[in-house]
C-alpha cells in the first residue's frame, strides 16, 4: 500500500498537494496580534534576535515578496469573495469539517508526543463530531468540554528536542524551517486520510481539504493581516518573529519558554480560538 502512495505522491500529486498546503499555511495564515494590545514596540529587538538565525535572509526576502504577491493576486481575492458569499455559520461549518478530517493525524502526533490527555480529547472530539456532529460539520464536542487543539510532526520533533534550524521561506510554502518542512512531509505519510483517499480513489480529496481550510483561515484574517502590514516597519521581520514565537508557543502547548523576552506575543497563534476574528464573529 505504501508503494502505491509513493507512486502518486512523489510525482505530480505530492507536488500539487504540498504547494497548496504551503500556500495556505505560509501565505494565507498570517499571525494574529497579541491579546494584550502589544503594539510592536519590541519589533526591533525581535528582529535583532532573529538575525542570528537567518543566514539566507536575502533569498528569503525575495521569496517572501513573491509569496505576498501571489497572496495578493490569488488568495486574498478568493478569501474576500468567500467571506462575502457565505454566512458565518456556513464558514464555521467548513472550518469544523476540515478540523475533524485532521483529527486522526492530530491524534497520532498527540500520542507520539506522549500527551495522552490531549490524545483522549482528540479521540473524543473525532468520535462525537463524526457522529452527532454530522461528519464534523458541527463542533458538538467543544460544547461538551473537549476544545480543539492542533498538532503536527514538526511540533512533535520540537517536543523531543529537535531544534528548528535556520529560518527558511519556501516558494509558495511560506515561513518554515528545516524541522517544520520535514515535519510537513512526514505528516503526509502519517495521515490516515492519505491512505483512505487512495483506497477510495479520491486522492484529490487531500488537496480539496487543504484548499478549503486555507481559504477559510485566510478569510478570517483579512483585516488582521492588513493591520500588520500597515503597522510594521519591516513586515518580513515581523512575520519572521511572529512565526517563530507562534511555533515555540505551539510546541509548549501555550506555555511561553523562559528564554524569549516577549511575553505579550504568546497570546496569539496562527489558528487560535482565543480571540474573535476581525468580523467580530467566533473563530
Cβ atoms 183, 156 nearer than 8 A: yes
Given CA atoms 40, 245, 72, 218 in this order, what sign does their dihedral have? negative
pLDDT score of 53: 87
Residues 6+ apart with CB under 8 A from 158: 164, 179, 247, 251
Among 154, 159, 156, smallest CA distance to 179 is for: 154
68: cell is 505576498
Q: What are phi and psi of 246, to 5 degrees?
A: -65, -45
Alpha-carbon span 269 to 247, nearest angstrom: 8
First-last CA distance in the chain? 38
Place of cell 469573495: 81
pLDDT score of 6: 44
Listed by start position, the domains of the chain span 2-267
* DSSP codes of every residue in 29-92: -PPPPPTT---STTHHHHHHHHHTT-TTHHHHHHHHHHHHHHIIIIIHHHHHHHHHHS-HHHHH
Q: How far is CA 46 from the centre of its chain?
A: 22
Angle (CA) 89-174-36 rounded to 5° is 60
Alpha-carbon span 130 to 135, nearest angstrom: 4
Beta bridge partners of 168: 176
- Exposed / middle / buried, residue 78 (Cβ in 10 Å: 0-12, 13-18, 19+): middle
Alpha-carbon span 229 to 247, nearest angstrom: 20
**Where is 14: in which H helix or E strand?**
helix 12-22
pLDDT score of 43: 52
3-state secondary structure of 28: helix
Given CA atoms 67, 154, 16, 204 in this order, what sign does their dihedral have? negative
3-state secondary structure of 258: coil
Place of cell 481575492: 77
Among 146, 267, 148, smallest CA distance to 213 is for: 148
Among 238, 222, 175, 219, smallest CA distance to 39 is for: 238
Given CA atoms 192, 7, 154, 37 in this order, what sign does their dihedral have? negative
Query: What pTM was estimated for this model as a whole?
Result: 0.76
Task: Identify the segments of the chain with pLDDT beneath 50.
Answer: 1-6, 8-12, 14-42, 45, 49, 258-283
pLDDT tens sequence across 199-250: 888 878 888 888 888 889 889 888 888 888 898 899 999 999 988 988 988 8
Amino acid at each position: 500500500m505504501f508503494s502505491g502512495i509513493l507512486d502518486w505522491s512523489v510525482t505530480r500529486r505530492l507536488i500539487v498537494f504540498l504547494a497548496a498546503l504551503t500556500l495556505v499555511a505560509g501565505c494565507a495564515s498570517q499571525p494574529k496580534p497579541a491579546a494584550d494590545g502589544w503594539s510592536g514596540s519590541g519589533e526591533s529587538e525581535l528582529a535583532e534576535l532573529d538575525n542570528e538565525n537567518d543566514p539566507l535572509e536575502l533569498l528569503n526576502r525575495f521569496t517572501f515578496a513573491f509569496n505576498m504577491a501571489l497572496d495578493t493576486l490569488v488568495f486574498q481575492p478568493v478569501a474576500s469573495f468567500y467571506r462575502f458569499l457565505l454566512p458565518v455559520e456556513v464558514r464555521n461549518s467548513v472550518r469544523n469539517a476540515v478540523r475533524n478530517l485532521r483529527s486522526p493525524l492530530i491524534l497520532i502526533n498527540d500520542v507520539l508526543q506522549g500527551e495522552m490527555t490531549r490524545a483522549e480529547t482528540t479521540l473524543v472530539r473525532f468520535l462525537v463530531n463524526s457522529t452527532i456532529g454530522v461528519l464534523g460539520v458541527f463542533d458538538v464536542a467543544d460544547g461538551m468540554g473537549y476544545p480543539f487543539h492542533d498538532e503536527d510532526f514538526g511540533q512533535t520533533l520540537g517536543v523531543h528536542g529537535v531544534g528548528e534550524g535556520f529560518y527558511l521561506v519556501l516558494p509558495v510554502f511560506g515561513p518554515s524551517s528545516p524541522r517544520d518542512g520535514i515535519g510537513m512531509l512526514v505528516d503526509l505519510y502519517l495521515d490516515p486520510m492519505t491512505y483512505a483517499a487512495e483506497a477510495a480513489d479520491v486522492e484529490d480529496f487531500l488537496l480539496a481539504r487543504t484548499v478549503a481550510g486555507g481559504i477559510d483561515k485566510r478569510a478570517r484574517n483579512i483585516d488582521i493581516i492588513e493591520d500588520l502590514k500597515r503597522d510594521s516597519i519591516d513586515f518580513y521581520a515581523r512575520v519572521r518573529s511572529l512565526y517563530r514565537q507562534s511555533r515555540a508557543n505551539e510546541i509548549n502547548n501555550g506555555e511561553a519558554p523562559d528564554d524569549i523576552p516577549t511575553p505579550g506575543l504568546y497570546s496569539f497563534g496562527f489558528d487560535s480560538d482565543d480571540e474573535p476574528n476581525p468580523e467580530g464573529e467566533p473563530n
